[in-house]
Amino acid sequence: MNEKDLIKKAAKKDGTALKKLVELYNPMISGLRKTYYLRDFDSNDWNQEALIVCYEAAREYTSDKGKFSVYFRSRLKNRMMTLVRFYMAERRKGYMQSVSLEWLQEMCSELVQKEEHIIIQSSINEFGHEFFENLSELELLAFLSIMGLADDREIIEEWQLDDKQLGRAKSRIRNKFNNLLF
């Protein structure tokens, strides 16, 4: 089946023809997918968007609009730009910059589940990105120590510190955390 037949059948809601048409343009779709990144959008989401746009393009396509491949690419690129704009809207900035507790747990190994850490963990969920972005390497190590994820002796030996330096870093962490909360 040639491209023109696939376009006509896809426009008449033939799912098989639509899938074949999308497969025909899969390299172009993959190239565009690599150009744009959307958080939480996996390949299935991009494929679904490509199917929707391809169907709409097939429905509205006429030969006076040029080659179908160019028309479809333009429509798909426009759709991707619309999605990027949607996700980058001011009201979604917090979501886009958020860090999940699961990710933080993976990055910091296993968090110690003690009552005194519950407040810290809930605050990490709320303020995590802002809080961690402003910490030095030494302060991050002190945070791990406070959370019980790293041993003070190991930090001091590995980073060639003395007790006072680590103690001051822990104090700065507590002050920064208090300033963030209050």
Range 37-66 average pLDDT: 85
Domain final residue pick, 36, 70, 91 = 91
Please indicate, yes or no, whether residues 77 and 114 belong to a single structural domain of this protein. Answer: no
Between 173 and 94, the higher pLDDT residue: 173
Please indicate, yes or no, whether residues 9 and 72 belong to a single structural domain of this protein. Answer: yes
* Spatial contact of 96 and 39, defined as CB atoms under 8 Å apart: yes
Domain final residue pick, 91, 112, 143 = 91
* Spatial contact of 159 and 165, defined as CB atoms under 8 Å apart: no
Please indicate, yes or no, whether residues 177 and 104 belong to a single structural domain of this protein. Answer: yes
Domain tally, the chain? 2
* Spatial contact of 143 and 135, defined as CB atoms under 8 Å apart: yes
Rounded distance, CA 117 to CA 54, Å? 51
Q: Which domain holds residue 140?
A: 98-181
Domain final residue pick, 35, 60, 91 = 91
Please report the pLDDT score of residue 108 as a whole number: 59
Distance of CA 2 to the CA centre of its chain: 38
Confidence of residue 118 (pLDDT cuts 50, 70, 90): low
pTM: 0.50
